[in-house]
């Protein structure tokens, strides 16, 4: 189980925010808030290569590299809660290097308390989104060499 101390600061901050939410309703509101922070994804990015496999909702993730080798994700979903998961992950992983992203495990979702309130299909969706972001980070590493 990953401890909050071992997380990148951006992700640790998110986990702490959720830990302060006292009940499930607050956690859901928090999650939806992350979804509202996402920039709209262009229709041109909503292509099969960017679609997250194994999600009940339509989820799209794109990745770009900054000059200093950090990763910048964009994403969208047609479901409010899933969009929140995408927003949470983008907020937590943007600005990290591919190596930092690949080392992470998705266990931190348990630290947020969200895992107990996610349906099995949403929890599965979260893992699929996380794995897709890791895969895209790794591909961006290969493409930039």
Give me the active site residues, please.
55
Q: How many whole angstroms separate alpha carbon 42 and alpha carbon 122?
A: 24
- 108's CB contacts (< 8 A; 6+ apart) are 2, 4, 7, 11, 15
- Contact in structure between 128 and 54 (CB atoms under 8 Å): yes
Say if CB 86 and CB 38 are below 8 A apart. Answer: yes
Q: Where are the alpha helices (DSSP H) in the chain?
A: 9-20, 24-36, 80-93, 98-103, 108-112, 120-143
Q: How far apart are CA 44 and CA 30, in angstroms?
A: 29
Strand partners, 72: 64
């Amino acid at each position: 189980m990953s401890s909050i101390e071992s997380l990148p600061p951006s992700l640790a901050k998110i986990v702490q925010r959720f830990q302060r939410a006292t009940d499930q309703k607050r956690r859901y509101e928090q999650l939806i808030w992350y979804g509202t922070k996402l920039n709209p994804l262009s229709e041109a990015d909503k292509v099969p290569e960017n679609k997250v496999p194994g999600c009940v909702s339509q989820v799209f993730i794109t990745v770009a590299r900054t000059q200093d080798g950090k990763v910048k994700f964009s994403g969208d979903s047609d479901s409010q809660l899933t969009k929140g998961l995408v927003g949470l992950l983008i907020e937590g992983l943007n600005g990290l290097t591919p190596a930092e992203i690949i080392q992470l495990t998705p266990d931190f979702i348990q630290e947020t308390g969200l895992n107990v309130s996610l349906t099995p299909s949403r929890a599965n969706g979260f893992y699929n989104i996380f794995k897709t972001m890791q895969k895209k980070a790794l591909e961006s590493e290969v493409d930039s060499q």
